[in-house]
Amino acid sequence: MKEKINFKKFPDKNGRFGKYGGRFVAETLMPLLLDVEKQYAKAKSSKDFKKQLNYYFKNYTGRPSPLYYAERISKKIGNVKIYFKRDELNHTGAHKINNCIGQVLLALKMGKKRIVAETGAGQHGLATATVCALFNLKCVVYMGSLDIKRQAPNVFKMKLLGAEIVPVNSGTSTLKDAMNEALRDWVSNVKDTFYVIGTVAGPHPYPMMVRDFQSVIGTEAKKQILEYEKKLPNYLIACIGGGSNALGLFYPFLNDQKVKIIGVEAGGEGLKTKRHAASLSQGKPGFLHGNYTYLLQNSDGQIIDAHSISAGLDYPGIGPEHSWLKDIGRIKYESATDNEAIEAFKICSKLEGIIPALEPSHALAYILKNKNKFKKNDIIIMNMCGRGDKDLFSISKKLNIKA
Ligand SMILES: Cc1ncc(COP(=O)(O)O)c(C=O)c1O
């Protein structure tokens, strides 16, 4: 990347990251989005809002999450020092709650009484249901019927927390279809409802808003690594579904040009098989869920089904800021397959006593398979963005462990 860009200045006032992003929605949605944008701008500059957010981050979520030196895995690889940013230790087990607290506090400020959300792995649905229980809000979660089956523990928890789960049977019965239904619900219930989007996708201002709430991950990590190592890391590495945990870690480092950044997409059964979710490396730009971004699509512009063993990465699109960061070369996007992720899942459990979610297992798989590419003493921060309890049963056969 030759040009010097100040990444803090994006998106522009039209919600664009270069040519990506924007707000391509039905007219009925426009006033809602403009209202969310206005209210978010107010909240962002309000000391009270920041104070409230920090209070819940600290006392409810358990932030700051530790930055942990994964010594045994580092030694297995050889020369490098890998740190895990342990967002799997957050209340509800993943990074998703950072964003939910932010958006629900905003919804409360706007006087909304009902929350809708979409979910894939169930982690965003679980986090939304949790925060709605906390603030006594009605919560409706749209979830693909395939995901309901493979993420049963989270469905059970959401119901216990009082959320209504609406199964979605259209399309591939996964995350993209759930998001379509949640958007439809929002349009029909504009008065009392707020749509809490779970990743850095959707129409402006959502990609920016979710990024800002998740940036607490990178802000903390920067402070922690400077304290432990007295210098910035050589690499940041995170898995990519819609892209929120990754941008949360990456965003505060984007202007630090020396820090190399790698996003790891789901390579599924292999990039050549077409059974994958690698929208950045294999897709083309197009429109989905109100924004312009890289998508898996056929030559007629029809969205192709995504596949990943990990429900949270199984999305044919990607947040628009990532599309821009890819094109300008600030971030490299690579992939890891289902099998490589399972191998990393097992290694992390055995060597570190940390059972990772399948999603961050992709990030670890990338590090493990590319161990020879790193230089001696390289410092890597990897986002351990979720814990694996939700995945154990769905992959138990592949793990070959008898209860
Ligand atoms: C633990 C975990 N990591 C990652 C993701 C992918 O989402 P994103 O790319 O927005 O972080 C999910 C999505 O459900 C998840 O549950």
Condensed to tens digits (0 to 9), the pLDDT of residues 41-91 reads: 999 999 999 999 999 999 999 999 999 999 999 999 998 999 999 999 999
Confidence of residue 402 (pLDDT cuts 50, 70, 90): confident
Taking the CA of residue 120 as reference, the ligand 1 atom at the shortest distance is: 14
Q: 182: CA distance to ligand 1 center in Å?
A: 18
Q: Are residues 221 and 200 part of one domain?
A: no
Q: What is the pTM of this model?
A: 0.98
3-state secondary structure of 303: strand
118 has pLDDT over 70: yes
Q: 2: CA distance to ligand 1 center in Å?
A: 31
403 has pLDDT over 80: no
Confidence of residue 2 (pLDDT cuts 50, 70, 90): low
- Could you list the residue range(s) of the whole structural domain that residue 257 is in? 64-93+215-399
Mean pLDDT across 280-288: 97
- Residue 3 domain-assigned? no
Q: 387: CA distance to ligand 1 center in Å?
A: 11
Q: Are residues 372 and 326 part of one domain?
A: yes
Which protein residues touch ligand 1 with a CB less than 6 Å away?
Answer: 94, 120-121, 123-124, 199, 239-246, 312-313, 357, 359, 385-386
Condensed to tens digits (0 to 9), the pLDDT of residues 4-36 reads: 899 999 999 999 999 999 999 999 899 999 999
Q: 89: CA distance to ligand 1 center in Å?
A: 14
Q: Are residues 166 and 36 part of one domain?
A: yes
Using CA atoms, how far residue 255 sits from 20, 227, 259, in Å, is 20, 19, 9
Q: How many domains does the chain have?
A: 2
pLDDT for position 396: 86
Average pLDDT, the chain: 96
Q: Which residue lies with its CA nearest to atom 10 of ligand 1?
A: 244
Q: Are residues 101 and 83 part of one domain?
A: no
- Residue 7 domain-assigned? no
Looking at residue 138, which CATH number applies to its domain?
A: 3.40.50.1100
Condensed to tens digits (0 to 9), the pLDDT of residues 126-147 reads: 999 999 999 999 999 999 998 9
Confidence of residue 1 (pLDDT cuts 50, 70, 90): low
**Rounded CA gap, 276 and 53, in Å?**
36
In DSSP notation, 60-82 reads: II-PSPPEEE-HHHHHHH-S-EE
Tokens of 180: 């379509």
350 has pLDDT over 90: yes
- Residue 1 domain-assigned? no
Q: 277: CA distance to ligand 1 center in Å?
A: 13
Cβ proximity of 226 and 232 under 8 Å: yes
Mean pLDDT across 162-171: 96
